[in-house]
Amino acid sequence: MNLRISKPPYSYRDDNTLPDFDDSRPVIVMDGQCGLCAMTARWMAHADKAGEFGICRSQAELGTALLRHYGIDAQKPESWLYILDGRAYSALDGIIRAGARVGGTGWLFQPLRILPRSLQEGLYRWVARNRYRIFGRTDMCALRDEALRARLME
């Protein structure tokens, strides 16, 4: 798993396999079939009072292409990506940064910064690999949440 992504900012702009998208705002790519991810997406849509974040399912063409660009397999459980100002952050590092950006209850993730990287990675992997068993499956696009639907990037 890649906690630190070393590609230069906006490197995806030179990748002709990626569809065009609005990169003027923070973008989160997450599993659109995961119950935990759907809860997180709904929370983000409501907690992001500034209306900044775009949310993209890893199953969408854009989501899959962004993950592939950053060397993340969309089929693996560890496929979570946060892009801000052209820089990408994955796994728990991305979640912590996104939480800080959205503010409010997003700050609850900040204490996880003190964990050594190896523990962060282990914790993230454990949750990611067990997310369907613990939180079930759902279809993020089928949720009747207008705030969330307005954020989805397809």
Domain ranges of the chain: 26-151
> Contact, 10 vs 21, CB < 8 A?
no
User: What is the pTM assigned to this prediction?
Assistant: 0.91
- The pLDDT score that the predictor gives to residue 4 is 62
Per-residue pLDDT tens digits for 33-58: 999 999 999 999 989 988 999 999 99
> Contact, 56 vs 153, CB < 8 A?
yes
Q: Which residue do the tokens 């292409």 mark?
A: 65
- The pLDDT score that the predictor gives to residue 6 is 84
Per-residue pLDDT tens digits for 92-118: 999 999 999 998 888 999 999 999 999
E strand or H helix that includes residue 44: helix 35-47
